[in-house]
Amino acid sequence: MKIGIYPGCSLEGSARDYNQSVFALAKAFDIEPVQIPDWNCCGATAAHNLNKELSLALPARILALAEKHGLDEIVVPCAACYSRLMVTQHELKIHPELKNRICEVIEMDYKGTSKVINVIEWIDKYIIPKLEEKVKKPFNYKVACYYGCLLVRPNKVLNYDRVEDPQTMDVVMNKIGATSLDFAFKTECCGAGLSISRTDIVSKLSGKIIEDAEHRGADAIIVACPMCHSNLDMRRADINKYWKTEFKIPVIFVTQAIGLAIGLTPEEVGFKRHFVEVKIS
């Protein structure tokens, strides 16, 4: 089967490991992701702070292109991209005059007919029904599922899971043999787009997340957002320096964890690109 996919900038840059694991998982489950032709940046994370019209035009063009190419459903692996596309759909649905203006800006027709789903929804809908028969090596880890602040917010727009204590990723991990732990920081911000401009803030916020996961005995932190992964993994040296300690817990994309459980190799799901070593048990 075919499904539309919007990779966003991160999956073709800093999160190529995530992209690799998404496509490897899709192949294993006979799913063909069809990339939206001529896609552009969605504007995350800065555009909506600078220019509202621009922040809507960028995602609207992506959605209009999906409609043009007959993609009725689009999986968006990046939580920030998912949030921007969903917020734009909502804004243009409730403000018809704004929708008309944005259509003028992008010089394309936009109807709002393509359904946008995040990577956990994609897994739940297309992977879970066939997962049990494909698990070859249970993912025997104690995990802290970290959703971040954009996968479930704004809740009134996304209407996805519980805003303070989401459970969908925990359910997925339990199905592949992991033990999902209670985790106080599962929706706290990691510092998001401040990774370069204010690394000190990222170090403070991300350090709190890592500290709580380690305190609860987690073997790994599971994420579904390239920005969260980048801040918790790539910035680990800065985090350790700020906290004057040596956090060693690895950060794993949910698609990578599933890939290992169904028998894909660490190379096939992109573990070579991690900064913090993932020890495969």
Average pLDDT, the chain: 94
Q: Quote the pLDDT of residue 75.
A: 98
Phi, psi of 252 (to 5 degrees): -125, 135
Task: Give the β-pairing of 32-35 and 251-253.
Answer: unpaired
Residue 50, pLDDT > 90, answer no
Q: Which fold has domain 2-118?
A: Glutathione S-transferase Yfyf (Class Pi); Chain A, domain 2 (1.20.1050)
User: Quick one: which of 216, 236, 251 has its CA closest to 146?
Assistant: 251
User: Quick one: which of 259, 254, 275, 62 has its CA closest to 151?
Assistant: 254
> Range with the lowest mean pLDDT among 40-44, 103-107, 115-119?
40-44
**Architecture of the domain delimited by 133-273:** 3-Layer(aba) Sandwich (3.40)
Q: Quote the pLDDT of residue 110.
A: 97
Helix H segments across the chain? 8-11, 16-28, 47-50, 52-68, 79-94, 96-106, 119-122, 128-134, 155-158, 168-175, 199-215, 226-229, 236-243, 254-261
Share of the chain above pLDDT 90, in %: 85
Domain(s) labelled CATH 1.20.1050.140 in the chain stretch across 2-118
**pLDDT per residue as tens digits for the range 150-161:** 898 888 898 888
Residue 224, pLDDT > 80, answer yes
Confidence of residue 14 (pLDDT cuts 50, 70, 90): confident
Confidence of residue 40 (pLDDT cuts 50, 70, 90): very high
User: What's the whole-model pTM score?
Assistant: 0.95
Confidence of residue 184 (pLDDT cuts 50, 70, 90): very high
Residue 46, pLDDT > 80, answer no
* CA angle, 14 then 254 then 39, to 5°: 45
Domain(s) labelled CATH 3.40.50.11810 in the chain stretch across 133-273
Q: Is residue 207 a contact partner of residue 241, using CB atoms and an 8 Å limit?
A: no
Q: Quote the pLDDT of residue 164.
A: 87
Q: Residue 116: helix, strand or coil by DSSP?
A: strand
**pLDDT per residue as tens digits for the range 52-64:** 899 999 999 999 9
Confidence of residue 140 (pLDDT cuts 50, 70, 90): very high
User: Of residues 92 and 47, which shows the higher confidence score?
Assistant: 92
